[in-house]
Amino acid sequence: MERVAIFAALRWECSPILRRIRRVRKSRVAHSTLWRGQTAHREVWLIKTAVGEERAAAAAHAVCGSTSFDLVLSTGCAGALLPEMRPGDLTIATAVIGNSSGRRFETDPDHREGARTAALQAALRPFIGPLLCSPHVLATAATKRDAAATTGSVAVEMEGAAIAAFAHDAGIPFAAVRAILDSAETELPAASDLVDHHTGGVNVRNVIRYVATHPGALAQMLALQRMQSAAQTSLEHFFGAWLAGP
């Protein structure tokens, strides 16, 4: 049976996988949450890392450092860097580019093709290309356009390079599949304290303060909620197809 380690930063990004695996055992390893379960063809280790490369690297080494795997998969949400991409579209990485390290990690072509097949089976629109891993949120349309032009990436996220580096150093095939959260033209809230980067939960007090002091912020928050719903639905459909396959 194939053993797969799947990494996601936030609880809502883990939920689509948790709903597809059985005989689930939950534990804490260092600062990370680990769920171990099965499908018909795979033993699945699902690791919630929290946001950012440093936390992702710590989670990978703490949870998986002494265990062998057939595949390491980075998943969750990403921000679009192409204007034609919409919330809920899927990105399948050809490589992950570390913006802070400058390293480029190629993904395994066989697993990449398997992900593309599953996406098409799930009636999703997959975009194939490099993913940029950024140490900070690209909050404006201008910064997204600049990232696309300078790196050639199709989308941006915040953990993949650390997970890819772990897989590379361990000699494990690596793949990355992400659902688009915000479009290339979406302007994100500048405040960095609206979400707890450890839990992924909303800081209600800070959100109330932000909405009260920024005109139009409530509409922006509701739009982001709809984008998250679209991204989570895509992950549900993708993992429904991918985890059911051989």
Q: What is the pLDDT of residues 38-93, one digit of tens each?
A: 999 999 999 999 999 999 999 999 999 889 999 999 999 999 999 999 999 999 99
pLDDT at 31: 87
Q: For position 176, what pLDDT does the model report?
A: 98
Q: 71 and 166 in contact (C-beta within 8 Å)?
A: no
What is the C-alpha to C-alpha distance for residues 237 and 28, in angstroms, rounded to an integer? Answer: 28
**Helix, coil or strand: residue 110:** helix
> Is 203's pLDDT higher than 70?
no
Q: Is residue 166's pLDDT more than 80?
A: yes
Amino acid at site 32: S
Contacts of 212 (CB under 8 A, 6+ apart): none
Instruction: Give me the pLDDT at residue 223, please.
Output: 73
Mean pLDDT of all residues belonging to the chain: 90
Q: What was the pLDDT predicted at 69?
A: 97
Confidence (pTM): 0.90
Going from the N-terminus, what domains does the chain have, and what CATH number goes with each? 2-242 (3.40.50.1580)
Lowest mean pLDDT of 91-95, 134-138, 237-241, name the range: 134-138
Structure tokens at 159: 């953990």
Angstrom distance (rounded) from CA 128 to CA 144 = 18
* pLDDT of amino acid 246: 80
Question: Which residue from 65, 66, 133 is spatially nearest to 101, judged by alpha carbons?
Answer: 133
Q: What is the mean pLDDT of residues 187-213?
A: 58
Span 117-124, average pLDDT = 97
Q: Please determine, for residue 220, whether its predicted confidence score (pLDDT) is greater than 80.
A: no
pLDDT tens-digit map of 184-193 = 998 876 545 5
- pLDDT at position 209 over 90: no
